[in-house]
């Protein structure tokens, strides 16, 4: 091999070494770039994961902070009034979301609690039904360190039920049938010779026996003394049994008895003053009297095992304030249970005088005995239902 050939071979080897070195450097550079890219992508993935976790935590916190209560009431014009005066404003002011349902009273609450499937958080029963529910253990005890009743009228709240409105069970008549000279007392309501015509009467025992026992000659102040025995209860039911041929409809809701009178389907009916006022405002030819009426109140209670008990307690505390209760008479003629509601200036003198809780109207009425309902409602209800199915 010549010296020239040897030099060519050495040059070739050097070129190959240079190429290999270049390829190695390029590979290392690419590898370094891939590592940088991987690290960058890894960092971005971590950031996205942290952001997603943060958003999830915020959403969970927001959901935990959003409070919801399911409120069950009687429907119709009464629940419409509650919605406008109490539920909707309180929801706006507290941030508590309100779902509304209608119910049939404590029997619905009893079914939910005994079945272990409670969906109601707040219910609006009559005070007498709530007294029985408390005795049965199907209501939660209320926390009066949260609910302020310092300005409430005495006897309009219990450990398990706080009053919301005062109402009256009255006798109403169709003015096209009787003019302004309708019945003056319960004896007149039951007197089909003096006041011929069709009647409507309640299908539940609450507020049904007291009128009957007064119609049978018992003085208003002695009503619960006479009814404080099975014999007294049967006496009242027998009086209703006498009237039964003239009772076209045994009503099951306030909306029903108001509609019956508004449409003129019956000539007289028992029922709740506020419902009759709404029906009269809608054109019904209706009058009623507070004489011998039953002075009663509806209340708010929490079913045992309510899914949102704490939010329910907070919500009841809010709607028990005078600035909510003073709006109820704007929509239906029921009186407030919080005396301070009369001092806000929202209830004028004329409206106050027309309410069941005005001193003049209270003096004419028989206050409903919660103690009697707690003791006797179960027995009385069974006997009453037997009479209805005869």
- So what's the pLDDT on residue 53? 52
pTM: 0.80
Give the whole-number percent of the chain exceeding pLDDT 70: 83
**Mean pLDDT over each residue of the chain, to the nearest integer:** 89
Q: Percent of the chain beyond pLDDT 90?
A: 82
Average pLDDT over residues 117-133: 96
Q: Are residues 129 and 377 in contact, defined by beta-carbon separation less than 8 angstroms?
A: yes
Q: What is the pLDDT of residue 16?
A: 43
Under 8 Å between Cβ of 318 and 154? no
pLDDT at 48: 58
In sequence order, the 6+-apart residues with CB closer than 8 A to the CB of 359 are none
Q: Which CATH number describes the domain made up of 67-165+298-366?
A: 3.40.190.10
Residue 124 has pLDDT above 80, yes or no: yes
Asked if pLDDT for residue 63 goes beyond 80, the answer is no
Structure tokens at 31: 């590898």
322 pLDDT band (50/70/90 cuts)?
A: very high
Mean pLDDT confidence for 361-375: 95
* Coil, strand or helix at 110: helix
What pLDDT, on a 0 to 100 scale, did the predictor assign at position 66? 79
The pair of structure tokens assigned to 357 is: 């809780």
CA-based torsion, 89, 95, 100, 104: positive or negative: negative
Q: Which CATH class is domain 168-296+371-388?
A: alpha beta
pLDDT at 24: 44
Structure tokens at 328: 């109820």
Higher pLDDT, residue 173 or 39: 173
Least confident of 12-26, 150-164, 278-292, 336-350: 12-26
Residue 57: pLDDT band with limits 50, 70, 90: very low
Residue in 212, 111, 218 with CA at minimum distance from that of residue 171: 212
Q: Per-residue pLDDT averaged across 50-63, rounded?
A: 45
pLDDT exceeds cutoff 70 at 326? yes
CA separation for the pair 199, 212 (Å, rounded):
13
156's CB contacts (< 8 A; 6+ apart) are 127, 163, 166, 297, 299, 337
pLDDT of residue 154: 83
pLDDT for 159 equals 97
Q: What is the pLDDT of residue 339?
A: 93
Look at residue 76 and tell me whether its pLDDT is greater than 70.
yes
CA–CA dist 87, 122 (Å, integer): 11
């Amino acid at each position: 091999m010549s010296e020239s050939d040897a030099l060519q071979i050495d040059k070739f080897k050097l070129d190959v070494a240079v190429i290999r070195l270049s390829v190695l450097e390029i590979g290392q550079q690419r590898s370094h770039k891939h590592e940088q890219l991987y690290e960058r992508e890894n960092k971005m993935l971590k950031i996205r994961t942290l952001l997603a976790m943060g958003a999830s935590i915020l959403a969970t916190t927001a959901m935990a902070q959003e409070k919801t209560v399911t409120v069950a009431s009687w429907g119709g014009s009464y629940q419409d009034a509650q919605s406008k005066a109490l539920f909707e404003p309180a929801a706006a002011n507290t941030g508590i979301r309100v779902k509304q349902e209608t119910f049939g009273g404590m029997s619905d609450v009893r079914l939910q609690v005994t079945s272990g499937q409670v969906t109601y958080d707040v219910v609006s029963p009559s005070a007498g039904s709530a007294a029985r529910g408390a005795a049965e253990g199907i209501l939660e005890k209320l926390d009066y360190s949260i609910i302020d009743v310092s300005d409430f009228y005495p006897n309009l709240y219990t450990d398990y039920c706080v009053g919301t409105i005062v109402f009256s069970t009255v006798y109403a008549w169709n003015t096209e049938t009787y003019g302004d000279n309708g019945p003056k007392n319960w004896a007149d309501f039951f007197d089909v010779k003096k006041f011929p015509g069709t009647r409507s009467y309640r299908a539940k025992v609450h507020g049904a026996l007291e009128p009957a026992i007064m119609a049978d000659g018992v003085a208003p102040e002695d009503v619960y003394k006479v009814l404080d025995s099975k014999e007294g209860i049967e006496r009242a039911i027998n009086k209703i049994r006498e009237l039964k041929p003239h009772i076209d409809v045994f009503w099951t809701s306030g909306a029903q008895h108001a509609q019956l009178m508004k449409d003129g389907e019956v000539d007289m009916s028992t029922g709740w003053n506020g419902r009759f006022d709404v029906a009269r405002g809608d054109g019904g030819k209706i009058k009623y009297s507070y004489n011998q009426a039953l002075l009663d109140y509806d209340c708010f209670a929490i079913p045992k095992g309510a899914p949102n008990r704490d939010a329910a307690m907070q919500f009841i505390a809010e709607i028990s304030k005078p600035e909510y209760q003073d709006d109820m008479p704007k929509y239906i003629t029921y009186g407030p249970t919080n005396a301070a509601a009369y001092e806000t200036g929202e209830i004028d003198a004329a409206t106050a005088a027309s309410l069941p809780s005005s001193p003049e109207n209270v003096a004419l009425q028989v206050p409903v005995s919660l103690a009697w309902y707690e003791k006797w409602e179960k027995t009385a209800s069974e006997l009453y239902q037997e009479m209805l199915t005869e």
